[in-house]
């Protein structure tokens, strides 16, 4: 009997231990699940069309096949020289500009949805003939025309995002679409690499199909968002940073001095950030020799993974900050991350620098759009979203040329301390601008209280 009781007791103890372990495991799983739900809770409660735009952002980015491989296509498949390819890429940037201005004007006058759908369909359809060998010689012209219509699409899409959001949920909304873009792009690059080597025509047709599918989803699920005249008039005299302006575009821009200064400072961030595509691969080759190219590829992979993993946590951690203060913090990560690249004499330091500047990118990207949208007059959203990105993009456009000249005159090593210093000064300028804005808001509040 004693042995039986011992065996029974042993079985009961074992059962109790298993049950306790199972309960503990379930408790741990539930805790992780709760944390994940809490983490993604920053995206809860957004207007339903924003979730649709998240989906279309993923779809569009998955199908973004052509441009990442355009240089290789032009030189390897069409036989263009590197010099001619560089000139063509410059022309692509130039042709985008008039499309952008036209799109901003049309979206403010006729509505976001109609302009976006028509322009995006035209942009997508122009990729279809590129997949046929018969039209190979005309591919550059089709691409230029597609880019022009894509330029019309972008300010309409940005204005739609702004229309659908408020100052309270705007950061979460822009962060969500940023996450969607990077999720889709990460998957799309794997597909695009396969298509480029094995089914080149589908590089173009797949891009067109993804864009048309995203447009169809938008057309079916997202309503027109352009504010009515009544909504615009209701903001006049409100003192809001989104108050309508009754003048033309230049007058409206003059009425937003803080936004103009912000945009000018942002050009310096662009100047520094573009070095991850220009000077960074050169530095990796100079430091690590034959393995430099492979290391650079791994750094870009780390950047993409970090953006996907940390966009939501960063959004959650900074959601109570003023957007401009978060943008200033991003500059500190840029300053340290880019500034140390010249000192990265081993792989681990190269990885660390990439982690730092990638965090800067995430903080910047999840707060920049919210600041701009919060300071854009409701009456000029389309036009502001056309003009301001062009101004802030100047730094990224001239960065390679300026640093290329510096490398020729000095050395590659000179790029990184200069980049770090520029980012640090820009971060301080953003912080100072935020403080000046706070003081201006207090003065307005005091004047309002006095007159009341």
Give the CATH number, domain containing residue 354.
Answer: 1.20.1250.20
Q: pLDDT value at position 239?
A: 76
Are 392 and 279 within one domain? Answer: yes
Are 153 and 294 within one domain? Answer: no
- Contact assessment for residue 208 and residue 124, using Cβ atoms and an 8 Å cutoff: yes
Are 155 and 263 within one domain? Answer: no
Q: pLDDT value at position 329?
A: 97
Q: pLDDT value at position 246?
A: 83
Q: pLDDT value at position 127?
A: 96
Domain membership flag for residue 399: yes
Summarised one tens digit per residue, pLDDT across range 394-439 is 888 888 888 888 888 888 899 999 999 999 999 999 999 999 999 9
Domain count, the chain: 2
Domain membership flag for residue 24: no
- Contact assessment for residue 351 and residue 299, using Cβ atoms and an 8 Å cutoff: yes
Secondary structure letter of residue 66 according to DSSP: T
Are 163 and 212 within one domain? Answer: yes
Domain membership flag for residue 19: no
Domain membership flag for residue 12: no
DSSP secondary structure letters along 127-152: TTGGGSGGGGGGHHHHHHHHHHHHHH
Are 209 and 287 within one domain? Answer: no
Domain membership flag for residue 114: yes
Q: pLDDT value at position 67?
A: 79
Quote the CA–CA distance of 63 and 185 in Å, as a whole number. 8
| Rounded average pLDDT per 10-residue block, the chain, 452 residues | 48 51 54 54 88 94 84 83 77 87 93 95 96 90 95 93 90 89 84 86 95 96 93 84 86 91 96 89 87 84 88 86 95 97 92 96 92 91 89 85 86 93 98 94 69 46
Domain membership flag for residue 221: yes
The whole domain housing 167 covers: 45-226
Are 201 and 98 within one domain? Answer: yes
Are 258 and 375 within one domain? Answer: yes
Are 365 and 259 within one domain? Answer: yes
CA separation (Å) from 165 to 169, 246, 260, 370?
6, 22, 22, 10
Are 211 and 269 within one domain? Answer: no
pTM for this entry: 0.79
Are 81 and 173 within one domain? Answer: yes
């Amino acid at each position: 009997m004693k042995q039986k009781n011992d065996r029974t007791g042993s079985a009961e103890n074992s059962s109790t231990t298993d049950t306790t372990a199972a309960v503990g495991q379930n408790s741990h799983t539930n805790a992780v699940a709760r944390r994940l739900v809490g983490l993604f809770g920053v995206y809860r409660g957004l207007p339903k069309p924003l979730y649709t735009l998240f989906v279309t952002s993923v779809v569009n980015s998955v199908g973004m096949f052509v441009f990442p491989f355009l240089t290789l296509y032009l030189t390897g498949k069409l036989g263009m020289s590197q010099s001619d390819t560089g000139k063509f890429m410059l022309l692509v940037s130039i042709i985008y500009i008039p499309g952008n201005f036209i799109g901003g004007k049309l979206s403010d006058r006729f509505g976001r949805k109609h302009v976006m759908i028509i322009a995006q369909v035209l942009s997508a359809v122009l990729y279809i003939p590129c997949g046929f060998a018969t039209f190979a010689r005309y591919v550059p012209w089709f691409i230029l025309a597609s880019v022009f219509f894509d330029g019309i699409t972008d300010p309409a899409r940005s204005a739609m995002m702004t229309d659908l959001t408020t100052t309270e949920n705007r950061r979460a909304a822009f962060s969500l679409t940023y996450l969607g873009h990077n999720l889709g792009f990460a998957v799309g690059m794997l597909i695009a690499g396969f298509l480029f080597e094995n089914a080149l025509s589908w590089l173009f047709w797949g891009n067109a199909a993804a864009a048309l599918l995203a447009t169809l989803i938008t057309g079916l699920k997202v309503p027109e968002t352009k504010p009515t005249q009544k909504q615009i008039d209701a903001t006049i005299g409100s003192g809001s940073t989104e108050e309508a302006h009754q003048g033309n575009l230049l007058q409206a821009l003059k009425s937003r001095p803080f936004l103009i200064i912000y945009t000018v400072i942002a050009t310096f961030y662009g100047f520094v950030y573009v070095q991850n595509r220009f000077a960074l691969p050169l530095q990796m080759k100079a430091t690590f020799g034959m393995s430099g190219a492979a290391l650079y590829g791994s750094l870009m992979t780390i950047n993409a993974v970090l953006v996907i993993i940390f966009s939501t946590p960063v959004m959650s951690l900074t959601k109570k900050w003023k957007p401009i203060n978060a943008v200033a913090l991003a500059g500190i990560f840029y300053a340290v991350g880019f500034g140390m690249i010249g000192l990265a004499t081993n792989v681990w330091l190269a990885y660390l620098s990439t982690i730092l500047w990638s965090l800067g990118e995430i903080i910047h990207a999840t707060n920049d759009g919210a600041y701009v949208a919060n300071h854009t007059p409701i009456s000029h959203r389309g036009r502001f979203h056309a003009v301001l990105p062009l101004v802030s993009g100047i730094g990224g456009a001239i960065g390679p040329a300026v640093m290329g000249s510096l490398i020729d005159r000095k050395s590659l090593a000179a790029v990184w301390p200069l980049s770090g210093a520029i980012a640090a000064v820009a971060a301080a300028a953003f912080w100072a601008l935020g403080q000046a804005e706070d003081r201006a808001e207090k003065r307005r509040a005091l004047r309002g209280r006095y007159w009341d």
